[in-house]
Amino acid sequence: MPFPVDLKYIVEFETDLGLSFPEKFKAKMTIENGGEIQTDEDEWTLFPFLDKSDNKRISRTCNHIGLETENAKEWDNFPADAVAIGENGFGDLLILLPDKSTPSKLTDNIFVWSHETGEIYELAENIDSIE
């Protein structure tokens, strides 16, 4: 069950990463830090932002976006500039990519990365268009 997360933990991660997340994504995550989303093809589990407010929240967010992105980068065909934000349980990941015109900002577009082929395709214009 997802819990809200204080925006300060998202901002802290953005600073560490050197990238800013889309506003709609941050707004959703401050209300439900993680959770599930459904598409016609798949059910996706969103990775949370690490919430350090207490031990229970640390435990519930230990599979956070930063850790899951680091793990994904161990795959040869995972894009170096991608941030993993969710999984379907079969190895494929939801990712965000930097904006080509402003590389320090992640685009609103949600992409799927196929772990088998390395293929990337757009799933949605933004996180709100999935729900």
pLDDT in tens, 66-80: 999 999 999 999 999
Angle (CA) 11 60 39, round 5°: 80
pLDDT at 69: 97
Closest C-alpha to 104, from 96, 92, 93:
96
Whether residue 103 lies inside any domain: the answer is: yes
H/E element holding 26?
helix 23-31
Question: Residues 97-122: pLDDT tens digits?
Answer: 999 999 999 999 999 999 999 999 99
Q: Mean pLDDT throughout 79-96?
A: 97
Whether residue 107 lies inside any domain: the answer is: yes
Whether residue 111 lies inside any domain: the answer is: yes
Question: Rounded distance, CA 70 to CA 13, Å?
Answer: 13
- CB-based contacts of 98: which residues, under 8 Å, 6+ apart? 19, 81, 104, 105, 106, 107
- CB-based contacts of 122: which residues, under 8 Å, 6+ apart? 109, 110, 111, 112
Whether residue 2 lies inside any domain: the answer is: no
Q: Write the CATH number for 90.
A: 3.40.1580.10
CB atoms inside a 10 Å sphere around CB 44: 23
Whether residue 18 lies inside any domain: the answer is: yes
pTM score of the predicted model? 0.94
Position 93 pLDDT exceeds 70: yes
Q: How many domains are contained in the chain? A: 1
* Residue numbers of the domain that contains 113: 7-129
Whether residue 54 lies inside any domain: the answer is: yes
pLDDT at 40: 87
pLDDT class for 35, splitting at 50, 70, 90?
very high
Whether residue 1 lies inside any domain: the answer is: no
Whether residue 35 lies inside any domain: the answer is: yes
